[in-house]
Amino acid sequence: MRGRGGKEKLFSDRNINLQVRLCCPRRNNRTTQEPTFQYDFPWLASFRVPALPPGVVLGEQPLPPGVPSGSGLEAGPKAASPFYPGCSGGGGDCEARGPSWSWLTRTCGRHTQTWPSHSPKPRSSLGQRRCPPQPGAGPGFPPRSPPLRPAQRWVICSSAAVTSSRCRGSAVPWFLPLGGMEFAELIKTPRVDNVVLHRPFYPAVEGTLCLTGHHLILSSRQDNTEELWLLHSNIDAIDKRFVGSLGTVIIKCKDFRIIQLDIPGMEECLNIASSIETSEWRLSYVNKEFAVCPSYPPIVVVPKSIDDEALRKVATFRHGGRFPVLSYYHKKNGMVIMRSGQPLSGTNGRRCKEDEKLINATLRAGKRGYIIDTRSLNVAQQARAKGGGFEQEAHYPQWRRIHKSIERYHILQESLIKLVEACNDQTHNMDRWLSKLEASNWLTHIKEILTTACLAAQCIDREGASILIHGTEGTDSTLQVTSLAQIILEPRSRTIRGFEALIEREWLQAGHPFQQRCAQSAYCNIKQKWEAPVFLLFLDCVWQILRQFPCSFEFNENFLIMLFEHAYASQFGTFLGNNESERCKLKLQQKTMSLWSWVNRPSELSKFTNPLFEANALVIWPSVAPQSLQLWEGIFLRWNRSSRYLDEAYEEMVNIIEYNKELQAKVNILRRQLAELETEGGPQESP
């Protein structure tokens, strides 16, 4: 039974924040693969969308036939079947269902529950109790690390899936809203000891800080001392500062009170801060019919203060309707990467107040941001003649514009053709080979792209500034830069699932026109001007970083090669079409299978897993010096030389690692045995 298999998977993995089911109808039983694509937004959990988006009301959407609409424990297991189109319901009638797109399922231990909205949520034990605190480990305090936490995550199933995505065509998983979520779910660290509270005119208080579903509580746990109980909803703004490992959070309240908390430990401090922070972002469904921007997905993340009407106006001011949207949220400091199309300022310097307001809304007070234009100043200026252009300093005074020059279209295609030609000729002498390699300019493009991505990452992580990235359309070099910056900044994007999610988000959903760009490769004589190896360049850049940080990626080179192959020719539907809207019209979800569903099967995954992977939570800065960049032999010399010895060496390496694991396991078993023998022996011995 397909349904059962899918369900187990869905609820077993507790580490996944958001799981989204890819609709992947199987017309015959060719395979019994697991059609689940687990899609997670590493950074999404760090901001919350306090209210559900308009038009989407939890629990009120019509459920697919066969699912009892009542709330209760039965919803989970039974609801599993409609996740699979074809099992129930069928595709025909789903158009009528309107914007229903998801329901929230909460897994709690073994039970799965569906909460109808507006029904009283069961309050977490933390929030309910308001007994006066007692000395010592008072019962008023939440138990240390509530046992529920790890298992208790919102699993949001894009049953979406069934209805909306099939009809409206979003293959996946957008950001599924954390709307309606309990605040407790956002609490990363429920409790920190040795926190010092500073308030004007009061002595500093040292105590334990607790976050509950509704309150921030600080207690010194002394008799007769006052405690601080602060409603989360009273928090207006938060500032973070660090001196060494001591973090300071300054909380500014809506009633004008300002308090300061000194929290030892940087990570703790960041967790606390991001737990109580309110989000400045919301999901917008303005593009749900693909009317505002044909190349955007139906749901995008935009600043909360900008309404859909303004977005529509901004869309008319940006190339291809690609108004600025959130691409990445850097948890560490709350800075963001946004991307868009070029502004249509034209020769007469048109401006758009809403556009200015939108991108300014992403800046914190007094902060400046950077606009990275992936074209040289010259090219950007020339674009004005065709109605395009760039942001004028006068109209965007809080932004500093940086021009970088990343090539596009036929220049890249020619570069690829030259490179492949050079690699294919074994008779070249050394000088000719080197000059051909140089003339192809491939590595120059790599360096340009990586440099720009590093610059973007640097702005975010080092300068603490938000950035907006665009080129002309915002579908090529823009995506290269936003996605590579995330590889550099975000450890999750270096895992297999995270990287899949990145491709899905930053390439497929963001509207990189795969159909056009990857129609032909290096050998075809018919040259179309929209062909370009943009995605291959991106993969090559990832490979360069992978080479420099060989232990920080969960996937290996083969994974990148596989993605390259499938982007150009694939039996799966994932890379077909130029954007979501096209994929929807093509009904790819009903007619084709998803690449991810195949790749994520354990048997396939094992080929793509990097045996050296050890999670590295740091930002990784690659070197972009020409001496550090190399020709990607796995792609370009793949068919031109025997890699037998290299493959064998790799196998040997894997063997050593496997053997190491084996030995470690064995040693552990033996030690346990020995310990058992000792304890058995102990009592015998004592009398």
Within residues 583-622, the interface with other proteins by CB under 8 A covers: 612, 614, 616, 618-622
Residue 26 is a binding residue for other proteins (CB under 8 A): no
Alpha-carbon distance of 235 to 217, in angstroms, equals 13
CB of 673 to other proteins, least distance (A): 6
Nearer to other proteins, 184 or 454 (CB): 454
Residue 667 is a binding residue for other proteins (CB under 8 A): yes
CB of 442 to other proteins, least distance (A): 9
Residue from 568, 681, 683, 687 binding other proteins (CB under 8 A): 681
Residue 664 is a binding residue for other proteins (CB under 8 A): yes
The answer to whether the CB of 317 falls within 8 A of the CB of 300 is: no
Residue 333 is a binding residue for other proteins (CB under 8 A): no
The residue among 422, 417, 420, 416 whose CA lies nearest residue 442 is 416
Residue from 164, 165, 413, 441 binding other proteins (CB under 8 A): 441
Site for other proteins in 192-231 (CB under 8 A): none
273: tokens are: 């801060």
CB of 438 to other proteins, least distance (A): 4
Residue 383 is a binding residue for other proteins (CB under 8 A): no
Residue 652 is a binding residue for other proteins (CB under 8 A): yes
CB of 388 to other proteins, least distance (A): 23
Residue 73 is a binding residue for other proteins (CB under 8 A): no
For the chain, report the end-to-end CA distance as a whole number of angstroms.
59
3-state helix, strand, coil in the chain (%, to 5): 40, 15, 45
Window 447-486: contact mask with other proteins (x via CB under 8 A): x---x--xx--x---x------------------------
312: tokens are: 């529509």
Residue 648 is a binding residue for other proteins (CB under 8 A): yes
Residue from 134, 225, 382, 623 binding other proteins (CB under 8 A): 623
Residue 437 is a binding residue for other proteins (CB under 8 A): yes
Residue 668 is a binding residue for other proteins (CB under 8 A): yes
E-assigned strands of 72-219? 103-108, 111-114, 153-157, 191-198, 205-211, 215-219
Question: Do the bridges between strand 325-330 and strand 258-264 make them parallel or antiparallel, or are there none, so unpaired?
Answer: unpaired
Nearer to other proteins, 166 or 447 (CB): 447
Residue 685 is a binding residue for other proteins (CB under 8 A): yes
The answer to whether the CB of 522 falls within 8 A of the CB of 639 is: no
Residue 268 pairs in a beta bridge with: none
508: tokens are: 């497929």
Stretch that binds other proteins, among 90-98, 146-154, 554-562, 668-676 (CB under 8 A): 668-676
Nearer to other proteins, 382 or 623 (CB): 623
Residue 438 is a binding residue for other proteins (CB under 8 A): yes
Angle, in degrees to the nearest 10, between helices 442-461 and 430-440: 50
* Other CB atoms within 10 A of residue 226 CB: 11
Residue 639 is a binding residue for other proteins (CB under 8 A): no
Alpha-carbon distance of 683 to 687, in angstroms, equals 7
Task: Please report the sign of the dihedral spanned by the C-alpha atoms of residue 396, residue 398, residue 403, residue 409.
Answer: negative
Residue from 223, 603, 684, 687 binding other proteins (CB under 8 A): 684
Residue 433 is a binding residue for other proteins (CB under 8 A): yes
* Other CB atoms within 10 A of residue 539 CB: 22
Alpha-carbon distance of 546 to 552, in angstroms, equals 7
Residue 431 is a binding residue for other proteins (CB under 8 A): yes
Site for other proteins in 529-568 (CB under 8 A): 547-552
CA dihedral 665, 668, 669, 675 (to 10 degrees): 180
Stretch that binds other proteins, among 290-298, 465-473, 556-564, 637-645 (CB under 8 A): 637-645
The residue among 305, 403, 392 whose CA lies nearest residue 351 is 392
CB of 559 to other proteins, least distance (A): 16
Residue 415 is a binding residue for other proteins (CB under 8 A): no
Nearer to other proteins, 220 or 444 (CB): 444
325-330: strand order across its sheet: 325-330, 335-339, 467-470, 369-373, 399-403
Site for other proteins in 386-405 (CB under 8 A): 402
* Other CB atoms within 10 A of residue 234 CB: 15
Residue 660 is a binding residue for other proteins (CB under 8 A): yes
CB of 561 to other proteins, least distance (A): 18
Residue 411 is a binding residue for other proteins (CB under 8 A): no
Alpha-carbon distance of 402 to 55, in angstroms, equals 39
Residue 677 is a binding residue for other proteins (CB under 8 A): yes
Site for other proteins in 223-282 (CB under 8 A): none
CB of 608 to other proteins, least distance (A): 17
CB of 682 to other proteins, least distance (A): 8
Stretch that binds other proteins, among 11-19, 69-77, 325-333, 663-671 (CB under 8 A): 663-671
CB of 236 to other proteins, least distance (A): 34
Alpha carbon separation from 18 to 39, 41, 182, 355, 503 (Å, rounded): 6, 7, 15, 31, 16
Residue 687 is a binding residue for other proteins (CB under 8 A): no
| DSSP tally for the chain: helices H, then strands E | 22, 19
In the DSSP assignment, the letter for residue 106 is E
Nearer to other proteins, 13 or 633 (CB): 633
- Residue carrying the six token digits 């019962």: 139
DSSP alpha helices (H): ranges in 1-145? 2-12, 75-79, 125-128
CB of 246 to other proteins, least distance (A): 19
Nearer to other proteins, 151 or 434 (CB): 434
Residue from 269, 337, 467, 629 binding other proteins (CB under 8 A): 629
The residue among 440, 632, 620 whose CA lies nearest residue 545 is 620
The answer to whether the CB of 677 falls within 8 A of the CB of 671 is: no
Find how far residue 427's CA is from the centre of its chain.
Answer: 46
Residue 291 is a binding residue for other proteins (CB under 8 A): no
